Structure 1
Amino acid sequence: MIINSMFNNYQYSSLCQHWLKGLFLSWLFAFSTPSFAAQAVATVSKNIVGVNEVFQLTINVDDNVNTNALDLSNLDVHFNYGTPSVSSGTSFVNGVVTRQTEWKIAVAAKEVGEFTIPSFRLGASQTDPIKMTVLKSANKSASSPSKPEIKIDAESNKDQLYVGESFRYTVRIRIGEQMSQAALQAPSGDGLNVRQIGEDRQVETVLNGRRYLIITRDYQITANNAGDILLRGAKFTGNLIKGNRGFGSTLQIPFEQQADDLSLSVLAKPADYKGLWLPTEALELEQQWQPDVQEMEVGEPISRTITLRIKNAEQSSLPNLNLQYPNSVRVYNENPVYGSDNEFTSMTIKQVIIPRQAGEISLPALSINWWNTATSKQETSNIDGLTLSVLPGDPNSQAFLPPQVLQPENAVPTDNNVQTEIIRDSGWWPWLSLCLAILWLTTLILLFIEKYKRKQQPRNLISAQVKQPLSPVEGMIQALDQDQPIQLQSYFQQWLKHSPNHPQHDELHKAIQNVMQCAYSKDKSQKKETIKRDALLIMQELNKTTIRDVNAKSSALEPITPQ
């Protein structure tokens, strides 16, 4: 009642009311957010023990919980146990908060038999039960030690293949012991080329209360000789750490375990096979044209991207894709790009094709013969060629030129309304001329001052006021600076249409060819920078000449001739 009276007597502003509503909603959301159950895991230091032999029971919860929340009374029937050692902590890494609580308990079995450590409930979480084997005594257990909790398995996707064919060999190691100097030796065999694929994959898991580390590694194996070959399995070696580390008494025991051997049947290349020998289960050949057109003009570029994907193949076994193009086009090849994805090895090449003359031009197709090891048959993969209708181009096209360049070179402005008057009597004219001269001098002085002020302003403010299209020469300079050879070639063709007889034509054409050859060649030495610098000097000098010519034409006045 008192609170209601306070709210009725006090007039809150609308802003205060909104603030109170937001505070109430935040409070309500905080208390209504559901809490997620933490994960609890129980592990033991060993599963096979003797009567009264002490082993360690560890229970982990990924949250901060009450240290008295663990109830161990379920162990009273078959086990003795000591006071738990409890630790808890919170860490903040990369914006993620991690909490953990851990109990360590010393446990010993009371009698011989097969027993189960029951599950423990901690809040909403519950651990899994653990099966234990209890022998008559610890001494008997030590005289007949159990097999180390280490297992190595290997699998392959085939045991019959052809010469030159590759297959995948996967090794998995499950480690449930403490080890040092662990190493994995690759599989081997006469006439086999073995290569590791990618990095090792590691994951931790808990099986029957024991914590295991599982390591997976992949190999690619290629057969070089025909016949029956024995593939010796991968071998895992290292030292087992035994003893009570709490008292400083540890012992390292050498350990090694080898995966099962595998018998391979390697078939020879068929006698009637024709072409480059490519044995594989799958081969894919694709291409893409950009732009996808069938009609273009001389000097316009078109790119061709070819992708070859072969399953379980070595990069060194991929063929060279050589295409014979007609002399009517100029071709620039980029370096191949290699990759791997889902057991496929890929190679991608890109070609830039520029027609040099008008007419019908046929770009070649491509065919690859390969041997399908799944069906034991020869197959051929193809990609089509392309027929281009190349036009000579429109020499009068001036779409990319600025307006001042659109004028003919011999254009002279005319004014047919100019009249000449002969003055026979000076009269007041000299005085007027003197006044005009003074005004003219004053104007020149003001213009000089204004020009000086403008020079102090940033150039980008002046250029931002008027934005005009790039001229072909300016476009070539920009394309060269941004390392875009296709745009450089396009702007050069525009300049060539309007200046076919320019005195610097041959010099600029040679510089453009050097830049294009350097851009699409395999040689990426420092010579490239020298070629670009020489071409840039030519273009800058050409640009200065063009600007002087345009300014002269736009500012010239027609001479006044008295009649």
Structure 2
Amino acid sequence: MKVHKPLLALLVLAANALLVSSAWAAAVASVDRPNVDLNESFTLEVSVDVVTDSEPDFSILEDDFYVGQVSKLSSTSIVNGQMTRSMTWSVSLMAKRTGTIQIPPITVGAERSNGVPIVVNEPTNAPPGEADVFVTSDVDVDETWVQAQILYRIRIYRAVPTRQPALREPTISGAETLVELAGDDRQYESVLNGKPYSVIERTIALYPQESGEISISPAMFEARVLRNGRITGRKVFQSDAHTIMVAPIPPPPADRPDASWLPARDVVLGEDWSRQFDELEAGEPVTREITLSALGQLETQLPAIDAPGVDGLNVYADKPEFGRTVEAGGIRGQRKDQYAIIGLAGGEVELPVVEVPWWDVEAAEWKVASLPARTLTVKGAGEPETVGGPSGPNDFAAEAAPTGAAPAEGGVGGPSGPNQLEAITFWQRATEILAILWLLTLAAWWWSSRSAPRKRRESREPKTPPLHKQQSASLKKARDAAAAGDRAGVRAALLEWGRLQWPESAPRSIGEIANRVQAPLCDELRKLSSASYGPGGGDIDGATLAKALKSVTLVEAHETPSVGEMLPPLMPR
């Protein structure tokens, strides 16, 4: 049998087509914090996945909120060769009353967003004496389970300017706990007892790895306070301490004794197909992508979705993809598993139900996220298209008979004798064998087309360079960014260098790197951090910083503050 390469090339291109998204352009609304105090500002974001000249109508919010300044951001991204564009509007809001307020849908052109509820609490009373500076901390739960997320929030309130501020990390003792930073620091304004405060908030996600008790010592904020034009000596402000009880993993559900332990606040299971799956040609691949996301869980803790073993199908799993986002409820981990599915012969094949048991930490019970069973209709290879009705046995016999054979008596092309029946059987078997060989050839072609480019890329790609070369490259990026006045570029390059230099305790901010290096670089990094986050911002001397980055001297081990002693400063020194 002759294999037509152009036809196979088209089939391969169709197999690698982009996934068809079921989502339609729509407006999506979200808030940075679901719980706020009265007289405390928060941010509402409205996003659309298209570029539009229309503007959202925020006037409908004025009955319940003070509406502040609106900013707009347009973005373009290219993923797997597909370009997507989006626009996001951010508006600062402050509630006019307490209680649960429903933010109504926002209209953007022809689209309407979802509504968003927000809880507005009574304003927090200021500490005795109405302090100009104070620190608070809270945890979202007092009891939880092993590997379940705990959100620990620190807030620094300042009614007056401060100098040389730094936040000393609380000590976490007791049960072994994994610590993750949940998003960037937030800055907003709050009014307590008529007194305006500038607030900086940091959220940390804790994941206990064993049952027992977790003790969190007070967070301590150190700074020099500016009052009446004079700077005071260094003062220390501290928050409350917290204790959390961690329960052991509960037994799995009776009907699923092998269920993996997955504690979360919400679990979503979704799927995408590269094309319609209800009717496939035998030998043609179709790609199925299954996405599992869990709010309150790290992406590395999400279980794999095993490829189904189904008769009549060949299923090939690809390497999973991991990611995370940060929401008001904490970290949402995400895992994507992709499978190439090839039907081997004509008929209907059912993919089984996909189920993921998980533990709802809010309801304290087992639940199951699932995808329904899918029926794939596979059309046999080489099966002719019917015209004017189905073909009968006589039609097949006429086509299968050897050239020059005379029609049998009793019907046009109908079989009437043993020799003719043997010829029909022979050609039927020959056709089936050729069809199977064609399918095997097509599958081998498809598989080689996937693996060959990957092997070529692997052969072309150089081996991972030595660690010292990676570090040198990161420092060069930082020097180039400093010379160009690119503060964000300097920060990204230095954090990359920090992860290489201290893989076991990677720094999470420029301020923490400054604590681990000696002068003159430490001084320049503190200036950079102050220019980025300090009051009023400021410029940096890029040339001086680039020069300091040419020679990096680390602080001796006994001089370096341990990770348990110092958090990256919320506001630099």
TM-score between the two structures when normalised by the length of structure 1: 0.43
Higher alpha-carbon Rg: 1
Q: Using CA pairs under 8 Å that are at least 6 residues apart, name the structure with larger relative contact order, 1 or 2.
A: 2
Q: Which has the higher helix share?
A: 1
